[in-house]
Structure 1
Amino acid sequence: MSDNMAAWIDSPYADLTIREAPMPKPGPRQLVIEVRAVAVNPLDAIIQSNGTVMYGWLRYPVILGEDVAGVVVDTGAGVDDFAIGDRVVAYAMGLEKGRDAVSESGFQSHAAVDASLAAILPATTAFEDAAVLPLAISTAAAGLFEKELLGLDYSRLGSAAPRDEVVVIWGGATAVGGNAIQLARAAGYRVITTASAKNHQRMRQLGAEAVFDYHEPQTPNRIIEAVGGSAVAGILAVAVGSAEPCLRIARATGATQIAMASPPVSFYEQPRLRGLSLARIRLFLKLGTRTALLQVRSRARGIRATFIWGSAIATSPVGPAVWAGYLPAALASGSHRLYPEAHITGHGLRAIQEAIDDLRRGVSARKLVITLEHEAK
């Protein structure tokens, strides 16, 4: 058996297949980690369900997976802040355009990751708990801090004096939302968010000063009242269908920026089949119509509504500021909580496909995690 095994997706829409993979070699400023835990993301399910519609640059077979935690086993040139044997959590970038969708992806025994998107784990932190973090915190950071999105000040992240400016986060109980609450608070901003009633206490523990139930029709008005006369620095729309209420809040509060982490429709509402089905045609017509209407309505009111691409932080100052400047100390002190809660659904690469299928059926305020105890040996 090879020293490296992976869960491959051999063609669009296919189930994952377990077999040998090349052992990754670290490029400059990269680490190779022996992966001990991975988490599944909506992105994995969406790529599997949509074929080449969104990620048209992928050349199959490829390996999915963004969230990894494990032990450093090799380092590339220019790495001086990590050493072999370090326990780390990292964002695997293989699926992004121009990256290696084999060696740099997460669903395998060993993965090559950028040192700039990795952080040392405290000795007391379990790999499976840490695996919930990478894509969620990176997407939250992009939405909050990238200039093309909300453009918030992150220069004193983790030590910022409190500000009177408010950040509204619609969808605080999501993986992105829960990390965005913490990052916004760490940068000094006040946070108002939404979540179902059962998650309100958890949102306050993460740092939100006010939480409202997104099921309630009056929630946009209640958020507007809670803002009062304070300036709204920006609005983060995370959950599917969140753009419309966020636009209403922006109009009423004078906010000019909305960063959107989710499309206006759910990509799970289609069969995982090749070709054009009626369900897929309807979904993309709905997507195009709603997106166009949103842009027209927002621009007419001087509001910029922009979709988040989490990997943007890899090539901007935001990545190092969050992953190197903030995260190691915040994890060590416990000031940044690992959110959402890890739910271990299985062990070994063969458990990943079932976890992705479970994700399609719906998961709330938790992350599906698989542990890897090295079947490659």
Structure 2
Amino acid sequence: MAPINQAAWLMAPDKGPLEVKPAPYTSPDAGQMVLKNGAIAVNPIDWAKQFCGEKKWKWMTFPWILGEDVAGEVVEIGEGITRFKVGDRVISHAVGFYVFGNRPEEGTFQLYTIVRENMTAPIPDSLSYEKACVIPLACSAACCALYQKTYLELPYPTCPPAPLNGQYILITGGATSVGCNAIQLARASGYKVVTTCSERNFSLVKKLGALYAFDYASPSLQENIIAVLKEVEVIGAFAIGPGSVELSIDVMSQLGDSCKKIIAKASFPWPKEDPVDDDEYWAYMKWVDGWNDKISALEEKHGITTRFVEGAELGRNELGKVIYGGFLPGALAGGGYVAAPEPQVIGQGLQHVQEALDTHKRGVSARKVVVRLE
């Protein structure tokens, strides 16, 4: 008899709260597994989809199951999988949200989720599900920025970390979930990391591997970063967080030929106050178009390239296997890669997922919002 499944469903594009209802249990196809979810984390795209309804990510239909980050136990294995067995503890970046996934069975806001082998890594017994589930999407996004062709194209990370090669990388938003992963990955690839965050998070980002940390609120932020980078070789920048793209362009425009003028960007501006109706939403989207035009003009003026990061693209190329199959298992088991930032656990059970989304939307600092499911 199949396990009994439940999910926190997004029932309709009306911005209403998620509803906990029964969900089908679906067996995996080849190259896939089913997890019994131990803990899940929420991400900005989850509450953004709930807010935007049918205006954005139109390939999804309703009702739908959101969620990308999960840690749990393998309960069923599809054909062709040899790397895992039933009972293994794993993390996975589930891909139901994305075009190449595009089905609710691969969303994590439920008790049982279908995941893909090339987006899944084992975790040691010493790592709790609550801590582990902060890793997947943020790690995937950081990897897409750092390693994919036409982005920063760093050499792949190694465990133990590669020797420092003398080159630098600027990673803004170092205490965010994506930033915490990007710092560790860049250091594992042999780079010296310069990052930004609040002063209270300096110890966190330096523990993760950043060589320099600067207060993002400092009036001399730009000058401080340039002072470090002006005489060294810079491989590029990864812009995370509000104002990060503009900051990265301003810095790079004042560095010489020793700077590779490319910026991977993981953020775009979101208004301080949510649009309250369709007119305000479309006015905001028009404003975003203007922002993109402004960034394009700055690129042309300074000879800089920026590229937006799609966080799950490694699931469609060799990078997924490199990271989830090659790097993360040994790095997590050996302690060379840590789950960061710390989880902010909202509660236990699917009934807490909406609360978790609301908490994340209001904003958290150096935490990732998590719901325990067992």
Match of 1:262 in 2: 267
Alignment TM-score, normalising by the size of structure 1: 0.94
Match of 1:246 in 2: 248
Q: 1:4-47 deviations in whole A, cap 9, x for unaligned?
A: 00011011223101111110211111110000100111111111
Q: 1:186-211 deviations in whole A, cap 9, x for unaligned?
A: 00011000000000111110000000
Q: 1:302-336 deviations in whole A, cap 9, x for unaligned?
A: 21101100111111222111111110111111111
Match of 1:282 in 2: 283
Deviation at 1:2, TM superposition (A): 6.8
1:109 and 1:268 mapped to 2: Cα distance? 34
Change (3 A) 1:296 1:286: same
Match of 1:37 in 2: 39
Match of 2:165 in 1: 163
Match of 2:292 in 1: 291
Match of 2:196 in 1: 194
Deviation at 1:159, TM superposition (A): 4.3
Match of 1:208 in 2: 210
2:103 and 2:264 mapped to 1: Cα distance? 27
Alignment TM-score, normalising by the size of structure 2: 0.95
Is the 2:157–2:186 contact (alpha carbons within 8 Å) kept by the matching residues of 1?
no
Matched, 1:306 2:311: no
4+ residue runs over 6 A deviation: none
Matched, 1:350 2:347: no
Q: 2:134 aligns with which of 132, 135, 147?
A: 132
Match of 1:78 in 2: 80
Gaps of 5+ in 2: none
Change (3 A) 1:174 1:155: closer
Deviation at 1:218, TM superposition (A): 1.4
Q: State how 1:10-25 maps to structure 2 within 5 Å.
A: 10-12=11-13, 13-25=15-27
1:54 and 1:302 mapped to 2: Cα distance? 31
* Matched positions, count: 369
Deviation at 1:140, TM superposition (A): 0.6
Give the residue type in structure 2 aligned to 1:226.
Answer: V
Gaps of 5+ in 1: none
Deviation at 1:153, TM superposition (A): 1.5
1:155 and 1:217 mapped to 2: Cα distance? 34
Is the 1:35–1:71 contact (alpha carbons within 8 Å) kept by the matching residues of 2?
yes
2:299 and 2:343 mapped to 1: Cα distance? 37
Give the residue type in structure 2 aligned to 1:326.
Answer: F
- % identical equivalent positions: 36
Deviation at 1:120, TM superposition (A): 0.7
Q: CA RMSD in A?
A: 1.6
2:49 and 2:271 mapped to 1: Cα distance? 10
Give the residue type in structure 1 aligned to 2:251.
Answer: I
Q: Secondary structure at the match of 1:125?
A: coil
1:39 and 1:19 mapped to 2: Cα distance? 19
Q: 1:61-94 deviations in whole A, cap 9, x for unaligned?
A: 1100000011000011110000000011111100
Match of 1:220 in 2: 222
2:220 and 2:278 mapped to 1: Cα distance? 39
Matched, 1:327 2:349: no
Is the 1:270–1:283 contact (alpha carbons within 8 Å) kept by the matching residues of 2?
no
1:77 and 1:242 mapped to 2: Cα distance? 44
Change (3 A) 1:178 1:37: same
Q: State how 1:60-139 maps to structure 2 within 5 Å.
A: 60-139=62-141
1:47 and 1:276 mapped to 2: Cα distance? 14
Give the residue type in structure 2 aligned to 1:270.
Answer: D
Which has the larger displacement, 295-304 or 356-365? 295-304
Give the residue type in structure 2 aligned to 1:304.
Answer: T
Change (3 A) 1:258 1:157: farther
Change (3 A) 1:124 1:155: closer
